[in-house]
Amino acid sequence: MSMNIEQVREYTLSLPGVTEDQAFGEDILNFRLEGKIFVCLGLGSSKRDIKDSDSRIALKLLPDRNIELREQFSAVKPAYHWNKTHWSDIYYEEMDKSFVEGLIRESYQLIASKLPKTVRSKYLSELD
């Protein structure tokens, strides 16, 4: 079973400390932890490029993980508007819901792991 756009948003917002904004315009939702973006959700209303109408999220993941996922899944591509080493586009409607949730969590944990120790512990401990 795959996720829809509302499920992606609800799941991402359910993670501790997550906020959302639209800093890049009305067609993209950014999800942040302590001000750091870890998920960008395309809302499909952009007229800039046909690729923007696809159901996808950009996730920040470790470079080796991005390579591994892109080799394994046709629904994972280098991020269109982001640094392609650190970000991948995940076409979530083409993948299993639990797998996509795991990737969102992985992106969240990556950002949390880079926060100062006193801040980091309150987010990572809540996910254990």
Q: What is the CATH number of the domain that holds 105?
A: 3.90.1150.30
- State how many domains the chain has: 1
Is there a domain that residue 63 lies in?
Answer: yes
pLDDT in tens, 42-63: 887 545 444 445 789 999 999 9
Give the pairing type, strands 87-90 and 76-78.
Answer: antiparallel
Is there a domain that residue 49 lies in?
Answer: yes
pTM of the model: 0.90
Is there a domain that residue 66 lies in?
Answer: yes
Is there a domain that residue 46 lies in?
Answer: yes
Q: Is the pLDDT of residue 86 over 50?
A: yes
Instruction: Give the DSSP letter of residue 107.
Output: H
Q: Residue 117 belongs to what domain range?
A: 5-122
Is there a domain that residue 127 lies in?
Answer: no
Is there a domain that residue 128 lies in?
Answer: no
At residue 126, the pLDDT reads: 58
- Reading the block at residue 78, the tokens are 């280098």
